[in-house]
Structure 1
């Protein structure tokens, strides 16, 4: 099954970084995202999807906390900081450099119109309850088959 939800608040990225990245757990205060993931034995988030080429990203690249803030909090390119610095170094003014990193309409422009920006769509892949029970009670082979099927379903949707 797949559920879809709108991400509309500018601080929604914190939910992903603080909760989802830790299986709905909490990251210790003051610890970097990368360090906390390593300590918890969790893999880092990676970029996936067919729009990556347009952003100059590669599937499988690690997503940083700052990139999450830029994309889901500011509607800006995940490498906006670097791009903006380069534009400023080339003589662009600050406003032009900032606008050049916007994905679609700048979020501030949307909010000035008293509209709510749609920052992203959250697709969550969930197995049916009976499949979760089968995974939990099954042997290693059964778990691997279920996990591969789940991964193939995600890859199919992302294509």
Structure 2
């Protein structure tokens, strides 16, 4: 069973706490998303399959969703999981991710700093914090996930360049 509680919905930003209590095993159905979102795993683990690619996700990871993607979630255990779902409208996504409203596919490393920020954001939203401040913080969290992703991509490129250089 999937349950979502929206804690913020304004200015193109939606923030929700999502709890999944599906049993252990392969997901039974494919779900289609209709939003751009960055999802941070707060507790538990699961496998997300999208476009033929599978990622094992736990609290050290986040992932992105794009409208129209078909996805399935498989659960290696029966303990459930909890996530923070941060949805941004297409214009915000484009402004944060390089003028392209398509978020990266695959999992994103969630640094300890970004993990703490998204948890603090959700806690502030649950307490009824100032909506304008919450929107700004949500955008900063999404931007931080983008920066963490960019740093990881650059590190892979540098490592591959070093391997090629050493091979020559």
Q: Greater share of strand residues, 1 or 2?
A: 2
Flag the structure with more relative contact order, 1 or 2, with Cα contacts below 8 A and sequence separation at least 6.
1
TM-score (norm 1): 0.28
Q: Greater share of helix residues, 1 or 2?
A: 1
Larger radius of gyration: 1
TM-score (norm 2): 0.27
